[in-house]
């Protein structure tokens, strides 16, 4: 099956959505399965951290491999690993089995970096933010749909949910194999690389500051995720149902910002401006979250999610533009920085929350401001991704 150029990005988004939905099916059942096997709270925390630690290692490796061997083969390899991790989870009979499954899942989680590099290759520069925004929306919606399906499958236990997850992951693998091109626009990408190398040699610091920005904003958002349930229960009496609805609404707001707002705003104001504004909106929303009444908290969470939705595709576009000849490696490095933040930020947020509930949210504001400053520190031409150069990348 060969798709026209304008359908390849939607097909890639569908692949990523399906893969992340399959992964998310497991999440609601994992803590209860670990408890059944006699796992302590610290062991349950380790199970969740294992994913991020494995992704921290694998994402740069998969990204570099995709630069060398092509996006599709590496993406198919990672998706195959997703199927295996779900099957391991379905057949786990001990905590060690669950841990192995989580490590395999995290190692395959680097597929997100490969998918972002794939989208950057497929899209002409003036539509790159739009394509990466669609991909980010697919990731967000996958994380919304997966846990919802997992909740509905709770009566089947981890074994039944794992089988469903494996089937969904297999569907993503088959879709990628059938619908995605083998080497999309490679000639045009190489031509664009040669045209832009001289420009990017003058900006060696760009990847480093973008890594700092990715780490800071991810840590800020993870600090909220780790403490929101505590804040909701302590301040407003929120239970699991209320928290679930809040997170679902936040996921929809984030997906809408990524898919519908980021690209038009980048075309109007520039990618770097949108990324900077997204970081500041994220920080403002998080800082206001513990200071407002219940309805205001929900509003602040939506604002923070919109900020994250604006930031994510714009930041990915800046990364792709900063490293046109090694996009996979750059995307992998960003995913690794984000995985590092996801591994460490929840623990730090929990400690600071015990000291004072406001601290994680004020810290999130500081991190967001640091991220915005890093983005603004990019060299002069960075962030001008919406200029119509090398339009022939996607014929």
pLDDT of residue 229: 76
Tens of pLDDT, residue by residue over 225-238, are 878 878 888 888 87
Residue 116 CA: distances (Å) to CA of 186, 208, 278, 290: 15, 18, 19, 34
% of the chain exceeding 90 in pLDDT:
23
- In this structure, the dihedral spanned by the alpha carbons of residues 240, 244, 247 and 251, taken in order and rounded to 10 degrees, is 160
Q: Hey, how many other C-beta atoms are within 10 angstroms of the C-beta on 260? A: 15
Task: Report residue 306's pLDDT band, with 50, 70 and 90 as the boundaries.
Answer: very high
Measure the CA angle with vertex 298, ends 297 and 301; round to 5°: 85
Domains belonging to the chain, first-starting first, are 5-188 (1.20.1250.20), 194-393 (1.20.1250.20)
Q: 218 vs 24, which has greater pLDDT?
A: 218
pLDDT at 373: 95
Tokens 């099957």 belong to residue = 87
- Separation CA 308–CA 282 (nearest Å): 6
User: What is the pLDDT at residue 244?
Assistant: 67
Model confidence pLDDT, tens digit, residues 20-53:
888 788 877 777 787 788 877 667 767 777 887 8
What is d(CA 372, CA 233) in angstroms, rounded to the nearest whole number?
Answer: 31
What is residue 270's three-state secondary structure? coil
Mean pLDDT of 189-211: 52
Q: List, for residues 241-261, the tens digit of each pLDDT value.
A: 677 678 778 888 888 898 888
N-terminal to C-terminal alpha carbon distance within the chain: 17
Q: Would you say 101 and 88 are in contact if contact means Cβ atoms under 8 Å apart?
A: yes
Average pLDDT over residues 101-127: 82
Beta strands in 250-299 (DSSP E): none
The predicted pLDDT at position 275 comes to 95
Residue 395: other Cβ atoms inside 10 A: 11
Per-residue confidence (pLDDT) for residue 114, from 0 to 100:
85
| CA nearest to 144, candidates 1, 391, 309 | 309
Residue 393 has pLDDT above 70, yes or no: no
For residue 272, what pLDDT is reported?
A: 93
Mean pLDDT for all residues in the chain: 80
What integer pLDDT is reported at residue 144 of this predicted model?
77
Q: What is the mean pLDDT of residues 152-181?
A: 88
For 319-332, write each residue's pLDDT tens digit: 888 877 777 788 88
Strand, coil or helix: 195: helix
pLDDT for the residue numbered 277: 96
Q: What is the pLDDT of residue 41?
A: 63
Q: Predicted confidence band at 187 (pLDDT cuts at 50, 70, 90)? A: very low
Give yes or no for residue 385 having a pLDDT over 80: no
């Amino acid at each position: 099956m060969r798709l026209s150029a304008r359908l390849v990005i939607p097909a890639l988004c569908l692949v990523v959505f399906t893969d992340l939905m399959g992964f998310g099916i497991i999440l609601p059942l994992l803590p209860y399965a670990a408890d059944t096997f006699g796992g302590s709270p610290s062991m349950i925390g380790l199970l969740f951290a294992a994913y991020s630690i494995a992704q921290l290692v694998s994402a740069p490796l998969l990204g570099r491999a995709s630069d060398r061997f092509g996006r599709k083969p590496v993406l198919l390899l990672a998706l195959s690993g997703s199927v295996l991790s779900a099957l391991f989870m379905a057949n786990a009979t001990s905590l060690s089995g669950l841990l192995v499954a989580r490590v395999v899942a995290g190692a395959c989680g680097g597929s997100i970096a490969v998918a972002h590099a794939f989208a950057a290759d497929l899209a002409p520069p003036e539509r790159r933010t739009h394509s990466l925004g669609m991909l980010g929306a697919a990731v967000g919606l996958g994380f919304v749909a997966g846990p919802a399906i997992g909740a509905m499958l709770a009566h089947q236990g981890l074994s039944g949910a794992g089988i469903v997850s494996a089937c969904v992951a297999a569907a993503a693998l088959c879709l990628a194999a059938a619908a995605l091109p083998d080497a999309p626009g490679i000639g045009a990408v190489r031509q664009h690389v040669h045209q832009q190398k001289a420009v990017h040699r003058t900006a060696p610091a760009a990847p480093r500051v973008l890594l700092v920005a990715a780490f800071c904003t991810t840590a800020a958002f993870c600090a909220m995720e780790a403490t929101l349930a505590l804040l909701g229960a302590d301040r407003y009496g929120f239970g699991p149902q209320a928290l679930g609805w809040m997170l679902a609404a936040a996921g929809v707001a984030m997906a809408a910002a990524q898919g519908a707002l980021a690209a038009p705003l980048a075309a109007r104001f520039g990618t770097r401006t949108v990324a900077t504004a997204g970081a500041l909106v994220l920080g403002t929303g998080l800082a206001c979250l513990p200071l407002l009444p219940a309805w205001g908290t929900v509003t602040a969470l939506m604002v923070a999610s919109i900020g994250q939705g604006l930031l994510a595709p714009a930041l990915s576009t800046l990364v792709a533009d900063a490293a046109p000849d090694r996009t996979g490696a750059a995307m992998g490095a960003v995913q690794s920085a984000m995985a590092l933040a996801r591994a460490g930020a929840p623990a730090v947020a929990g400690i600071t929350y015990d000291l004072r509930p406001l601290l994680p949210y004020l810290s999130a504001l500081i991190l967001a401001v640091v991220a915005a400053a890093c983005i603004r520190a990019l060299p002069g031409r960075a962030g001008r991704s919406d200029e119509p150069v090398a339009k022939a990348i996607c014929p």
